[in-house]
């Protein structure tokens, strides 16, 4: 059988993850410092682990409601009410998912007819366009520019709008650039969405890692709750990546249809992990703050190290990524990442994995120990100096 002829054309057109490519390659080499994967170098807080263990001891291993544990949804509702003054009914306006990754996929499956277009900032998380394509939609990349700190502008959005445009998918703080959108910038985006009657899908997984200013929940903007689907989760703030817990909040009429897809494809997120998430929201604010403070210190360390190397880079304002321009080495981002890995044993991700606007940049994750970051910067500095001198 020729399997290649049997696959759906839209799936075949989706590339494999460039992040995983470099991570997998680095894992086969000795003495590599990998700064490629966006995963906290912490374990989940003790209270989370204890809650997971206790739930297993109680033999709570059955399915939960397809919506997720009501107790967890109530805690999420409290969070949005207290922090953002946005109210969601935990009964049917909040759904627990298997991370934000599942949330993106089921939202696209629910919303998109073949050929429907979704506007996505470029560069942005590489799963965004992939999930749109897998659902049969058309990802439309909207360029952002380093001179603007890679902020999404209405001027660029207007150039890409068509009668087929259905939604805008954003994620701030941004992966891979570390940029944030201030409230005024988001208000302009809100006016654009209202003008063109678009759905806004907002990935706010890095909201707790905002170093300058405060995070603005898009649904909290005037008139935006009813047209916004907010995605968030526990992987980054609480170092719960492997526990795979996320959620989506939105208007009842939207969630009911998304729930239908989730019901058939997933049934429910891990029961054990849901109990861990309840503990995270109730008891782990101090853990989140401690991790935040450490990431903030690492941000300073890595930024200063890259500036010292002579690489142009703006100081990230959120998440745990930095996105330097490496064009002065005479290499493009793919060659730079390959050679840095093989010659200096440091793993980073080429910027073009996140869209064409990532050309000549690389993404560096500073979710690594200060010791490893110091050594990686030392190796990278020697590598950059060698090729900049030759250039």
Confidence of residue 239 (pLDDT cuts 50, 70, 90): very high
- Average pLDDT over all residues of the chain: 95
Confidence of residue 38 (pLDDT cuts 50, 70, 90): confident
Q: Spell 24-48 as b/e; 16+ CB within 10 A means b.
A: ebbeeeeebbbbbbbbbebebbebb
Enumerate residues 6+ apart whose C-beta is below 8 A from 251.
Answer: 93, 225, 226
Query: Which pLDDT score is estimated for 299?
Result: 98
Q: List, for residues 292-321, the tens digit of each pLDDT value.
A: 999 999 999 999 999 999 999 999 999 999
- Range from 16-20, 61-65, 80-84, 155-159 carrying the lowest mean pLDDT: 16-20
Q: List, for residues 249-287, the tens digit of each pLDDT value.
A: 999 999 999 999 999 999 999 999 999 999 999 999 999
**Residue 391 scores a pLDDT above 50:** no
pTM: 0.94
Q: List, for residues 74-132, the tens digit of each pLDDT value.
A: 999 999 999 999 999 999 999 999 999 999 999 999 999 999 999 999 999 999 999 99
Q: Helix, strand or coil for residue 171?
A: strand
| Distance, CA of 335 to CA of 195 (rounded, Å) | 43
Q: Interior CA angle at 74 toward 70 and 78, to 5°?
A: 170
In terms of DSSP bridges, do strands 349-350 and 362-365 run parallel, antiparallel, or are they unpaired? antiparallel
Asked whether the beta carbons of 102 and 112 are under 8 A apart, the reply is: no
Query: Which pLDDT score is estimated for 24?
Result: 67
Domains within the chain, CATH numbers bracketed:
10-43+286-390 (3.90.1150.10), 46-284 (3.40.640.10)
């Amino acid at each position: 059988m020729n399997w290649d002829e049997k696959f759906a054309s839209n799936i075949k057109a989706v590339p494999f993850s460039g992040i995983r490519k470099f991570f997998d390659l680095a894992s086969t080499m000795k003495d590599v410092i990998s700064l490629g994967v966006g995963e906290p170098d912490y374990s989940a807080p003790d209270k989370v682990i204890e809650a997971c263990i206790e739930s297993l001891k109680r033999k709570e291993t059955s399915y939960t409601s397809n919506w997720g544990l009501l107790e967890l949804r109530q805690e999420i509702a409290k969070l949005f009410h207290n922090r953002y003054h946005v109210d969601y009914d935990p009964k049917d306006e909040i759904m627990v998912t298997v991370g934000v990754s599942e949330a993106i996929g089921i939202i696209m499956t629910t919303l998109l007819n073949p050929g429907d277009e979704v506007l996505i900032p470029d560069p942005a998380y590489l799963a965004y366009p992939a999930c749109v394509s897998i659902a049969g939609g058309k990802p439309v990349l909207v360029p952002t520019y380093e001179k603007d700190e890679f902020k999404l502008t209405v001027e660029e959005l207007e150039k890409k709008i068509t009668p087929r445009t259905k939604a805008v998918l954003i994620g701030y703080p941004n992966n891979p650039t570390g940029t944030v959108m201030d409230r005024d910038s988001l208000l302009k985006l809100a006016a654009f969405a209202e003008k063109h009657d678009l759905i806004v899908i907002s990935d706010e997984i890095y909201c707790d890692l905002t170093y300058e200013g405060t995070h603005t929940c898009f649904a909290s903007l005037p008139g935006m709750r009813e047209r916004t689907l907010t995605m968030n989760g526990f992987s980054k703030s609480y170092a719960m990546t492997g526990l795979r817990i996320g959620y989506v909040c939105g208007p009842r009429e939207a969630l009911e249809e998304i729930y239908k897809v989730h019901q058939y494809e997933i049934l429910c997120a891990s029961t054990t992990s849901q109990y861990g998430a309840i503990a995270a929201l109730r008891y782990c604010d101090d853990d989140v703050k401690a991790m935040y403070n450490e990431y903030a210190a690492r941000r300073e360390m890595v930024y200063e190290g890259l500036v010292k190397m002579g690489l142009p880079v703006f100081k990230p304002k959120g998440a745990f990524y930095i996105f330097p321009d490496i064009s002065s080495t005479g290499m493009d981002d793919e060659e730079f990442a390959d050679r840095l890995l093989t010659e200096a044993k440091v793993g980073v991700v080429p910027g073009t994995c996140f869209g064409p606007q990532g050309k000549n940049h690389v993404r560096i994750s500073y979710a690594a120990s200060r010791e490893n970051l110091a050594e990686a910067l030392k190796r990278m500095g020697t590598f950059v100096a060698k090729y900049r001198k030759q250039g």
